[in-house]
Amino acid sequence: MMKLLDSIKKDFNTMTWVLMPVAIALNIVVGQIVVALRLPVYFDSIGTVLVAVICGPWAGALTGALSNIIWGLAVDPNALPWWPVAFFIGFVSGWCAQFGLFKAWWKVIVTGFIVAITAALVSTPIGVYLFGGITASGSSFITAYLMQTGTDMISAVFSTNFLVEPVDKITTAMAAYAIIQGLSARYLSRFPRPENVEAEDGSRTTQIIIAIVVVVILVVIAATLLGSLLGG
């Protein structure tokens, strides 16, 4: 019990509390833009992953949960029920970082995939039982298409999540990684867990370039996916 409390306490220093409101605002602004554009992704967890990686899993989990709670109460009520998903996105991202999966661009892809599987598993029951499979997200185009082809609702939502989440969460993780790599080591040392982001392969500039390229490729994939569905 004491180890758990110490682990939670370690995540929160002054820099954590300073970063969390910025991360929450980033999540809400980007997420709301994506909802307005009806894109088949979310991009509402960049701030959550950022906090989770350099502050710790509990700080990331709190950032994620508060993001959706504030977003739902102040802007879009549809965002509120998804707070458990956001909680686990932050928690799992933080744990992956503590196991060294945020020290090289290819490891960040692994982190994104693990987070995607977690998000898909947690979000499917919410999407099915609270929203009937159709939500405000652009990914509902995919769900609706699958249901029109005869797929039952649970399978349609589950399939959509496993199609969309890897693209979304890998992009999100790489975007957070690019931001972190752009920060100085001296600045990062002020956060609780700077050791999580000590680069292993190549220079920081190279890591940033690779991260940006991966993000662009995944965004193009997402845009192409939406275009093909709408075109069909």
The per-residue pLDDT for range 132-173, each reduced to its tens digit, is 766 666 666 677 667 777 777 777 777 777 778 888 899 899
**Domain chopping of the chain, boundaries:** 2-231
**Backbone Cα Rg of the chain:** 17
Tell me which of 194 and 134 has the higher pLDDT.
194
Report the pLDDT averaged over residues 58-65. Answer: 98
Which pLDDT value is given to residue 231? 56
pLDDT of residue 41: 76
The rounded mean pLDDT for the chain is 86
Candidates 158, 155, 154, 204; CA nearest to 179 is 204
Burial class of 190 by CB neighbour count within 10 A (0 to 12, 13 to 18, 19+):
middle
Q: Residue 203: is its pLDDT beyond 90? A: no
CATH class of this structure's domain 2-231: mainly alpha
The percent of residues in the chain predicted with pLDDT above 90, rounded, is: 52
Predicted pLDDT of residue 69:
97
pLDDT at 219: 73
